[in-house]
Amino acid sequence: MYKILNTRGLGIGGRQNELIELALTYKFDGVEIDMEDLLGRHDALGKEFACQFLKSAKKLDMGTFRLPINFGSSEEAFKKAIGKIETILSLADELGAKRCFVELETNSPTDSFQENFDTHRTRLAEVAEIFATHDIKIGVYLKAVGATDVEGQFKFIQTAEEVLTLVKTIGNDNLGVCLDLFEWQAGGGTVDQIKALLASNSVTEVRLADLKEGADASSVEKADRVAIPASEQNSVSYQVMQLLIAAGYEGAISASTDSVSFTADGRDPVLEKISKVLDQLAEGLDPAVVAAESEAAAAAAEAAAEAGEDSEDGVEAPAADGGDAEKDAEPAAAQ
């Protein structure tokens, strides 16, 4: 498996050079591409210009991108979006991208759940077939946080179970789940469901995140996201990584980030820590346990150093058995 730097919440927009610099600085293996930005660059100045910065980063894999298509739009709008697929595939091939993800709208102003479901099933199957010819997998991304009923609109997919039903109904090997653990938990998803997805090779990429302790699982908010995955021992992120290792998963992993992840400590320190934590998780370690052991070792070293300083200042440490060291030494001196 390899770690990707995704752009969500970073606030860098289309600045490819900044994204590349961050990925290289903090030793990520790949990046999430902003395909909408690439399309704009391509339409303005051509493919070479659109890809120049990303292609210059020889050490980086172009790991994933959001497919800019609304699969629940009108027939006219969908046909217009589909018209850009060849350009999207050309750009993806140029950059060596092998996976993308689709975000589904959680409500529809016109179609009932079943009508919308049938539309998505047909359109996703069609696009998955096309992308399979370019060896690019599509992952369906669940948006559960903030997905509420909207007055005058029909509810659509908002839970993990509904995503699983859609993917299973389509039944295309090139279509799976882009697994964001924060959204997955908010949508009622379980670790056992993830185990089943791995068994069927239906996970296209994994974005690690945990809920804050005490968060209400029935009404998760953005502020309930823990900025660094696996901050608590035996977290969901750690449990899922153990499953990935056991399953021999070779795909992309990343941290599920948002702007809220960077407000407290700033972007760079958080990215540095995220990169380190992802490495530890990929090695099968629990970062929270590693951190606790490191803190304990540091505290012991500090205590030992302070004891040494006291000894140098002429303050003797108590005898190991709790007795008077000076009296215990007298018989030996008499001999």
The sign of the torsion formed by the CA atoms of 261, 266, 267, 269 equals negative
**What pLDDT does residue 151 have?**
78
**What pLDDT does residue 62 have?**
84
Q: What's the CA gap between 188 and 183, in Å, rounded?
A: 9
Extract the residue ranges of the chain whose pLDDT is less than 50. Answer: 320, 322-335
201 SS3 class = coil
Strands 137-141 and 61-65: unpaired
pTM of the full structure: 0.87
**What pLDDT does residue 328 have?**
45
**What pLDDT does residue 155 have?**
94
Q: What's the CA gap between 27 and 98, in Å, rounded?
A: 20
Q: What's the CA gap between 62 and 42, in Å, rounded?
A: 17
**What pLDDT does residue 14 have?**
57
- Residue boundaries of the structural domains of the chain: 2-283, 284-314
278 touches 303 (CB < 8 A): no
**What pLDDT does residue 334 have?**
39
Strands 30-33 and 137-141: unpaired
**What pLDDT does residue 213 have?**
85
Closest by Cα among 219, 250, 215 to 236: 215
CATH number of 2-283: 3.20.20.150
**What pLDDT does residue 332 have?**
41
**H-run or E-run covering 136:** none
